[in-house]
Structure 1
Amino acid sequence: MKERGDNMRILVISDSHGQLGNLNEILKEAGKVDRVIHLGDAVGQDEEIREMCGCPVTIVRGNCDFYSKNELVEIVEEENVKIFATHGHRFNVEYSANDLCNAAREEGCSVALYGHTHVPDVSYCKDVLVMNPGSISRPRQASGRPTYGIVTIGSNGEARADTYSL
């Protein structure tokens, strides 16, 4: 359990597309995390993901999650930081993060997380920290390496986002 004054660490993954082979390696490499957020296209492997992670897990519905009952958007609040989590396909993220950013701001979120493009990115859109962790199974960036993200929330309530390659 998180001790007072420790940073909150959230593992962010996306687009596993039924291939969880890299998740164990990511969990080892990432170290202790307090929560996992999966940004969609888990294609029916929700329970397997929850069992593997061993901490609270939030999973949103992606465009390939045809029979999922997961929500398209989840608002996760940790350490007084509101996080907007979505797959992104309904927010035109393949063109820009503007629609996503505006939706996050409307919900009072200072962090917006999305997947769908399979390309990792960390940026700011106005005052919203925006991160795409890329894909753990089907990367599309030049390196072709599976990627994931970590959102760290400091004891001062400041959020930071970083992406990592396997």
Structure 2
Amino acid sequence: MLIVETRCEPQAHHDEELVLPFDLRQKSRLRTRLASGEEVGLFLERGAVLRGGDYLKGNDGRVIKVVAAPETVLKVTCSSPIELIRAAYHLGNRHVPVEVGDGWLRLGADHVLADMLNGLGAEVTEEQAPFEPEAGAYGGGHKHHGEAHGGLIHLFGNNA
């Protein structure tokens, strides 16, 4: 079994891919399989979350790219920025992991939260997509790959 204990800087080339949903990318100790089917044991620093696009180094020197697996999520949109902010507030008040996008929110599938959001006037659709929620106020921040601005600037527009 391949053992992975360290992260590394992004590389121009990688040898393997590790495709995991968000709930497994939160684990610092995990026995799983690479996309090739090879068994791998992760022994990473506690409390760290793997993000799609992160790179790891195997104990044999191989470079492994982390890929956020598509999973069932809820995409939330609203007819106005204020309504979207209200939806984000209520999700945050419940400590729900949320991904912030340009005019939308994404969260793990949950029919109770979907009903709450619909009651707030939000449009909620189920989709299959990679889930990359915000790290939280104390998690060092999170910027989506290729994103020039923080997600909230898009909620408020250029007038903020």
TM-score, L = length of structure 1: 0.25
Query: Which entry has the higher C-alpha Rg, 1 or 2?
Result: 2
Higher helix share: 2
